[in-house]
Amino acid sequence: MSGIWGNNIRFSIFGESHGEAIGITIDGLESGIELDIEEINREMRRRAPGRNKMSTARNEKDEFEILSGYFNNRTTGTPLCAIIRNSDKRSKDYTKIKNIMRPSHADYTGNIRYSGFNDYRGGGHFSGRLTAPIVFAGAVAKQILRKKGIAIGSHIKSIGEIEEEYFDGVNIEKELLKELSYKEFAVINEEIGLKMKNEILKAKEEKDSLGGIVECAVLNLPTGIGSPFFNSVESVLSHLLFSIPAVKGVEFGAGFDISKMRGSKANDEICIEEGKVKTYTNNNGGILGGITNSMPIIFRAAFKPTPSIAKVQRTINIETKENTTIEIEGRHDPCIVQRAVPVVEAVTAMGILDLISQ
């Protein structure tokens, strides 16, 4: 198993959902970077469980401990390592289903890939719990990018069939992104947000779950970042986005809808505005030929419904090789999208930092 990603800045993730701790090591950071620890804590709280009725009741504060690479409030230039201890573990919830493969989880694939030696409790290393150290790494990356004027922000574009407006791909305000980051439920339209919340609670009452879409924007990236083909901005970000558990789709700019347009509508015509090169539209999401073109990077990530639901489902017993059924117990999110918003921003920051560090 490899838990390492990055070319210039390398991120190494470790731990299991019900193990002693989870964490991440960041290698390649410059020395002397001052970090705002409270701001990192704020980012961690955005993802933390147990904040409201729409998330899991698992009570983890996601408090981190920096073990190395940080001294006198600044990075030392050596690997920065942080851990988050797991304090609210109920591993007994999983003992009786050790050999029962939960539908749409990584139980079966993990069992086969690692010959049955994988830690199955709470999904082990496959769990969304592992996104906590990713948010730590993303919070560090965000601070570095912010000093360069680069802003990253997201909102909940949809929950189930309920949708709110898209970002304005041409004129996104940095203040809007900042405002969204302070919201417990990150929507632009509060009225639609209330409908989304009610839909989540309804699914929870019915022992079911919902998925949704997170839309993300990156502002003020210099033109010329990225490369064609294998190190394009889209491929770098997509790699990381698909590393988030439950992400099943990614689209940039107009996304799949661009396939329905004629070239005359899809093309982003170019202009000079206040001495800067811009485009009138942003159907390509700020990227051409894999390289940034000065417009905001816009993309969306689609999350599947939480697979842990209390309804009876058909499955198999991997030990006896028999068909059976399962009712999943324990503490689970009826919808992970609200907590996934800072995770999407985190992997975006990680990818952008790696790209600009070349």
124 has binding-site annotation: no
Q: Which domains does the chain have, with CATH numbers?
A: 4-356 (3.60.150.10)
| Model pLDDT, residue 15 | 93
Tokens encoding 99? 């050999």
Dist. CA 134–CA 15, nearest whole Å = 12
pLDDT at 89: 57
Phi and psi angles of residue 292, each rounded to the nearest 5 degrees, phi first? -65, 140
**CA nearest neighbour of 130 among 240, 227, 22, 255:** 22
| Residue 53 marked as a ligand binder | yes
C-alpha torsion angle, residues 137, 138, 144, 145 (rounded to 10): 160
pLDDT beneath 50, residues of the chain: none
pTM of the shown model = 0.94
Is residue 125 annotated as involved in ligand binding?
yes
Token look-up 């410059």 returns 30
The response to whether 77 counts as a known ligand-binding position is no
Half-sphere exposure of 152 (CA within 13 A, CB side): 28
Is 223 annotated in some ligand binding site?
Answer: no
- Single-letter amino acid code for the residue at 4: I
The response to whether 127 counts as a known ligand-binding position is yes
Q: Is 133 annotated as a binding residue?
A: no
- Is 306 within any annotated ligand binding site? yes
Which ranges constitute the DSSP H helices of 206-324?
233-241, 263-266
